[in-house]
Copies of this chain bind each other. A is one copy, B any other.
Amino acid sequence: MKIKIYYEDTDAGGVVYHTNYLKYCERARSELFFSRGLMPLGEDGSGFVVRSLKCDFLTPARLGDVLEVTTEISDTKRVSIRLKQSIYRCDIKIFEMDITLVFVKNSKPSKIPQKFLKIFDTL
């Protein structure tokens, strides 16, 4: 998934505001669902929520840069998954994240539906 850096993404330091890298990774996760005709949010309010994450900011991105986000599955459990997402600019890794998502229904952890598991199996 490609991301273009616009003004809205930068801050007064002239580079991308740090939390935006996390947004780009979320866009890439949502795109996994959209590209299969699915919505990441269920009608009944169920969906994945971020439980924890760990990330490294390797080098900053700037206005006009084109970035690419990759997503790999690290682990799948009954109610949660762990992903490794990386952001590249021209084949140079500039950001790396390990993220754990929990599937939640009625505000409680719940078994990940089969149709979602299938998505992650292909990563």
The chain A residues found within 8 Å of chain B, CB to CB, are 4, 6-8, 10-15, 17-20, 22-23, 26-27, 30-31, 34, 39-41, 45, 47, 49-57, 60, 62-64
In the bound complex, CA of A31 to CA of B7 (Å): 11
> Are B7 and A12 in contact (CB-based, < 8 A)?
yes
Copies of this protein in the complex: 4
| Cβ–Cβ contact B56 & A52, under 8 A | yes
Min CB distance, A116 to chain B, in Å? Answer: 15
Q: With A17-B8, A22-B22, A26-B8 as known contacts, state yes or no: A56 contacts B51, CB within 8 Å.
A: yes
Q: Which residues of B contact A54 (CB under 8 A)?
A: 52-55
Report whether A18 and B13 are in contact in the complex, using a CB–CB cutoff of 8 Å: no
How far is A60 from B49 in the complex, measured between Cα atoms in Å? Answer: 9
**A–B complex contacts, Cβ < 8 Å, 28 sampled:** A4-B27, A4-B34, A6-B30, A7-B11, A7-B12, A7-B26, A7-B40, A7-B41, A8-B11, A10-B12, A11-B12, A12-B14, A12-B63, A13-B41, A13-B45, A13-B47, A13-B49, A14-B45, A18-B22, A18-B26, A19-B19, A34-B64, A39-B63, A39-B64, A41-B63, A49-B60, A52-B55, A53-B54
